[in-house]
Amino acid sequence: MDDLARELIIDRYQNPQHKGRLDPHDLGYEDDNPLCGDHIRIELRVDENDVVTEAVFDGHGCSISQASADLLVEKIIGKPLAEVRAITKDDVLESLGIELGPVRLKCALLSLKVLKGGVYGLEAGQASDELL
């Protein structure tokens, strides 16, 4: 892994900017990565124009899963839900700035899966990798 990218990831892991809970929130969703036990919950507040006004994540797991969640949440603040729905896995990987093997890819994309599960209004546990 390239050192600069790793530094960013470890910095976000150790000092997340958007970790916490929103009470109350308009959207909340969570999921696990069963392979490694990573867990992510994302909570959003959305205004009357469907724009995300606040967003946080909470959870535990490896540096990649947690940094990816922090960066993703940061990315969506101020964005309309339509744009949030259009975020792709390449967007997430680009903000992480690293190449990942198939196992770590699951770690990196867990937050996106959670986010999409939330914005598509799915029941907990229903979001699948196809959403990504």
Catalog residues that contact other proteins under the rule CB under 8 A. 1, 6, 10, 14, 35-37, 39, 60-64, 104, 107
Nearest-approach distance from CB 31 to other proteins, in angstroms: 14
Nearer to other proteins, 24 or 34 (CB): 34
Nearest-approach distance from CB 131 to other proteins, in angstroms: 23
Nearer to other proteins, 32 or 83 (CB): 32
Nearest-approach distance from CB 58 to other proteins, in angstroms: 15
DSSP three-state, residue 57: strand
Other C-beta atoms closer than 10 Å to the C-beta of 32 total 15
Nearer to other proteins, 11 or 54 (CB): 11
Say if residues 97 and 1 touch (Cβ distance below 8 Å). no
- The candidate with the shortest Cα–Cα distance to 51, out of 86, 81, 27, 72, is 81
Other C-beta atoms closer than 10 Å to the C-beta of 57 total 26
